[in-house]
Amino acid sequence: MNGQRTGKTPAEPESTTHVREWPVHRCWTPHSRHPEPCSMANPYTRLFETPATRAFTLGNLVARLPMGMFGVSAIIMIADRYGSYALAGAVTATGLAATAVVAPYTARLVDRYGQARTARPATAIAVLGSLLLALCVHLQAPSWTLFAAYALTATTPNTGGMSRARWQHLYRGDPARLHTANSFEQAADELCFMLGPVVAALLCTALFPEAGTLTGAVLLLLGVLVFTAQRGTEPPPQGRTTKSRSPIAAPGMLPLLTVFLATGAVFGSMEVVTVAYADSLGHAAAAGPVLALQAAGSCAAGLLYGMRGPSGPAPRRFLLCLAAMAALMTLPLLAAGLTGSLSVLAGALLVAGMATAPTMVTGMGLVQARTPEGRLNEGMTLAVTGLLGGIACGSALGGWTVEHLGPVTAYAVPATAAAAALALFSTVTVYARSTRRRRRAPLPAARQAVR
């Protein structure tokens, strides 16, 4: 509030009418009906001022780390025991497909019955699937048992979505803090997917092949238990009485999910192509650290993006982020094609990754805004499902391009996918604007005369 306050409400004391105040932020708490002044502190410090936010965040991070471990652990242990990367890839692909089908239903149950009541049994089933998979691999059981066991892990709850739902519940009336929370969550995603594969590979190679899967299962169980124990920050369950439409039927949601599909193709193809490119240079072991630099760039950009408040309409910000991602995703193609240096490629990936987190933060914010009341977990899980589908498609397309055109040319796949995401959202934005203009346009004189 700058300058003098010229108006007052019945609730204001008379003495505050002409008092000059320095600019302050308005902070919301879960139990306050009106915003209260708070200090100009670091936005991430302010984010955790609400009680129990640190506890549920810690538990969620522990539960989220295995998301970056399970896939790599499964591939390493199956390839080691069965000597077949094809079998390992088929098993993990089956788990991904099962997750894409089951996850939205699990999220719907979370919205209906609450996080603790749904996430705990769902996690127990997923942990059982991981333990069965490790046992079957250790005993070298028939191949079909691996598919059945890994399919059980599809019930793993979307811990990132549940954490975002808590922030949405806590700071619904504070867009600045909600923006910071979404940025923090995206940075946490990048951190977990950066550290997860490294931890998994270290455990599987240093101890025994099943160590990564077993450790991931324990971390998932402990993390979910700690996270769901924080009942004070849990959004209230909606029960069976909610009559809101499915999130996928909400206005503007389906085109947005299509953009997430294209964005997922960027991630999936980039991973496969980078592994192939490093291998072609004789540095296959360096593929992991090189990809970690992309995640590091995204993580840093996400944290910085969260420190500045949102400016302008969210659709416009999303369009700008997609444009930045489309431009920066050409850097790996240029680095590989012009230099042939893995070090230069690593720098290009670091810079290219800086567009990822802001894009995902803004996109998830749009998903939250367009999801009907009481269906937030389901809406965000649909976005994650779109990403997973895009990752699968991008991996397949990137692998095909590597085989037929070579790893350098294959870097055109993530660049094209990023451009496609930009084109899709640009088309949707232009169409929405033209529709609004037609609705606002005055009726022709002839039609007005008839009326």
**pLDDT tens, residue order, the chain (451 aa):** 444 444 444 444 444 433 333 334 444 444 444 444 444 567 777 777 777 788 888 888 899 888 878 877 887 788 788 887 677 777 877 887 888 888 888 888 888 888 888 889 999 999 999 999 999 999 988 989 999 999 899 898 888 888 888 888 888 777 778 878 878 887 888 788 777 877 887 888 888 888 889 999 999 999 999 988 888 788 887 766 556 667 776 777 888 888 989 998 898 888 878 878 888 888 877 777 888 888 888 888 888 887 776 677 778 888 998 999 999 999 999 998 888 888 899 999 999 988 888 888 888 888 878 877 777 777 778 888 888 888 878 877 888 888 888 889 989 999 999 999 999 888 877 766 666 565 555 555 545 544 5
- Spatial CB neighbours of 414, under 8 Å, sequence gap ≥ 6: 265, 266, 267, 269, 270, 273, 329, 332, 394, 398
Query: What per-residue string of b and e applies to 287-326 under the rule 16 or more CB within 10 Å gives b?
Result: bbebbbbbbbbbbbbbbebbeeebeeebbebbbbbbbbbb
- Spatial CB neighbours of 221, under 8 Å, sequence gap ≥ 6: 123, 124, 127
Structural domains in the chain? 51-239 (1.20.1250.20), 246-433 (1.20.1250.20)
Interatomic CA distance for residues 79 and 56, integer angstroms: 36
Rounded to a whole number, what is the distance in angstroms from the first to the last CA of the chain?
49
Q: Which of 350, 392, 382 is nearest to 194 (CA)?
A: 350
